[in-house]
Chain A
Amino acid sequence: MSERPSTPRRLAHAARLALLGAGALAISACAQDAPQDTWAPEGENAQTIHNLQWPIFLVAGIVGVIVMAVVLYAVIKFKDRGQPIPEQSHGNPIIEYTFIALPAAILAVIAGFTVNTIFDLAETQDTECVINVTGQQWWWEYDYPVAADGSICGYTPSNAAAVPLITSGQVIIPTDTKVLIRGTSRDVIHSFWIPKLNGKRDMVPGRVHTWRFHADGPGIYAGQCTEFCGLSHANMRMEMIALDPDDFQAWLDNQLEPYQSPEAGTLAAAGEVTYVSQCARCHQVDGLVDGNGDPIVSAPDQWVYSGAAPNLTNFMTRNTFAGASWDLLTPACRDEVWNASPEDFGAAYLKGVTPECLNEIDLKEWLRDAPAKKPMYADATALLETDGKVRGMPNLGLSEDQINELVAYLLERK
């Protein structure tokens, strides 16, 4: 075995290089712009989780490094160089008992803290604001129930009587408030996850699960469905928007403003007609009435498998659409909102989507052929098993004129 004395040294060199490469890779994996970073809590509940996961990660890391080091040491030290097999020993009670007791003790301590954290996060008695969340393929609907005293989420509307609000994709909460969502699903199991604010909670058909939220400061907290739920699971995102009290009040008042028809003769007025004929069977716009003055009521349960489609009454107060997967704002305007300082965030968000800021490209692509943009089971003929109901929004074969009218009409929904 004397013909390869230099091999170990060469290999050691290679190993060192590999280590360096892996290190560089690991460092570059720490992204700067990571809105869904679980290591950056920005609210009480996420902080509670962080206080648990950080020490555990540390302990596990230390144990892992020790084990790896010992294994590497053994591999290198006892590598076969043609030497005689060393003396073998069997059964050392002290070592064996230590190796049982030590991990058991570590795990017991971790379990204690973990169970405690789970109970902390399940607490519902200190809730200050309740929001109902309903998941469906592939977007989230939120509704805000009205309390006995006529308030919504602890805030009393300034100008109108409170009626339950419905929105989708983006859920608005007041900052520094203990919010409780009560969630369920209309079709399959989904999971609600806003990493910077709390862990995950499954939303299960026929059951109601609760989950706490709390945001320290204003901003957009991104998240996504984390239970595989079908074709467009990856496009089922959500954003929790925290607004300071005054801004939340302004948002609430704006949501409750009565419906205003577009001015006669405008493109938007033509859009209203097209909307009523093409879209109103699935989408609700509250306050829209027909020729007799009767409310136009959508019937998504007759067309869509989940039985629901997003409420578009205040569509342009949100700034993303279709499961928060595409921006309603142009990149420049989007940056203004996402990068706003905490003081300016509320005003920037409440501007909603202005005509100059509208990202027409994505919205028009959506109206032209939604399933081409977001994979959906939208071919009714292939869906006879589900009563021929579509999952998601079908391609409606609209003309470019109709699309332009609809965009003008939607632009006024705020």
Chain B
Amino acid sequence: MITTGSKLLVGSAVAAGLLALIYGVANGGALGTIGLISAAAGLALLAGISTYGRDANVSAMDTDAFESSAAAQASATPSLWPLLIAVGATAMALGLASLPALFILGAIIVTAGALEWLVQGWSERASAERGYNSHARNFLIDPLEIPIAAAIVFGIVAYSFSRVMLGLPSKSSTVIGFSIVSALVLAIGAVVGVKRGASKTALTGTFGLATVALIAGGTVAGVNGEREIEVHKTTAYYAARGECGAEEVSADEKASQTVAGKSNVAAEVIFDGTTLTWTAPGFVPTVEGAAPLTLPRSNPNNVMFRNESGGEARLVIGMNPRLDDNGQPVGPEQICTALAKEGGVQFLTLIFDLPSFATDEGYEFAVPGTDATLEVVVP
């Protein structure tokens, strides 16, 4: 006898073969046809193995199974899940026409609903015994349902809370607010811990109230918007504006967007008070010696400036920007770091328009106020 599983595989193989035929004729595409034929071959192989092995074939060994097996039981009861699926499908359709996010949400709802329905339908016919069936359902779906529900609740709480914290008028008020909330949580926790007999209703009431308050607060704060939050300028910001004078600008060396760039720079340029030297990944002093630094053209080069001198210092380089038709430079003529403190580090991104040979003096790093220079070659 051919088992149900084998029938399924045989059917799938035939379907894949037919699809390959249809696809091949309709589209003339080789790739899709190859994929479908491969699928058909794979499925046919599995069907063969399944037919040959006939593993887990209950009825082959147990003729009673015709009455006792799950498939012989009454069909599943009506379910509400299709309703959810319909909602999801609607969201998908709307999303197609409007927001992609709505489409994705719809797709998630459809998947979740279909999964729930599937498990319900299966579990109700899992055996002839109702109690066992509901246990089977929970056993399968709980590990999925509980974490997801928890994640949704946690997400709502965290989001509302963050809206409240961002909406408070100042940074110090967030500290106070946070202290009050955490003290409250601690106090309630302590009361519950000490008074073993706290009634379930009281607890539920407290938590319910707190949740509602939090969500309400979050909604209000969300509508009001965040307070003004100061953005720290990066070195790149000042460099782009060519602010290379002696005056102090306070760039936040850690606030750069280019964390990854900093971890693997094109070169580090080091100032020891009198001279500029460089080192780079893979740089081997015995090979390159104290040669000029070579950096590629028209590519962002990340350079780290390390100030190991006794005072403050900044690194400057003339960029020889290309001139437009009116003879005006297209990019910044000079790029510099902010003043680096003693032992400080500043980050610089350089894009060279022209190769060295096409400029009058080539390229050179310098530290204003000192004689230290370092030649840069752009091939």
Contacts and interface: CB of A to CB of B under 8 A. Distances in A.
Contact of A80 (B61, B288, B289, B354): B61
A82 B298 CA distance: 76
B54 interface: yes
Contacts of B284: 124-125, 127, 130, 180
A248 to B, nearest CB: 15
A365 interface: no
A56 interface: no
Interface string B40-81: 000000000000111101001100000000000000000000
A164 B265 CA distance: 21
B260 interface: yes
A205 B296 CA distance: 12
Interface in A377-406: none
Given A80-B54, A82-B61, A129-B287, A210 B296 contact: no
Interface string B288-329: 111110101111101000000000000000000010000000
Nearest to A186: B299
Given A125-B284, A127-B287, A129-B287, A207 B264 contact: yes
B49 to A, nearest CB: 8
Q: Which applies to chain B's interface (DSSP): helix, strand, loop or mixed?
A: loop
A183 B322 CA distance: 26
B298 A301 contact: yes
Contact of A82 (B60, B258, B266): B60
Interface residues of A, number: 46
A148 B283 CA distance: 13
A385 B61 CA distance: 67
Interface string A226-253: 0000000000000000000000000000
Q: Which applies to chain A's interface (DSSP): helix, strand, loop or mixed?
A: loop
A206 B236 CA distance: 14
Contacts of A182: 280-282
Nearest to A85: B61
A85 B357 CA distance: 85
A208 B357 contact: no
B282 to A, nearest CB: 4
A208 B298 contact: no
Interface in A180-213: 180, 182, 184, 186, 204-210
A184 B351 CA distance: 14
Contacts of A130: 282-284, 287-288
B53 A80 contact: yes
Interface string A289-310: 0000001010111000001100
Contacts of A149: 289
B294 to A, nearest CB: 4
B353 A301 contact: yes
Contacts of A307: 297-299
A316 interface: no
A128 interface: yes
Contacts of B294: 132, 143, 145-146, 164
B355 interface: yes
A75 interface: yes
Nearest to A211: B282
Given A164-B294, A301-B353, 7 more contacts: A130-B283, A145-B288, A180-B282, A184-B299, A205-B300, A209-B281, A308-B299
12 contacts: A80-B53, A124-B281, A130-B288, A134-B296, A141-B296, A148-B288, A148-B290, A180-B282, A206-B261, A206-B300, A284-B355, A301-B353
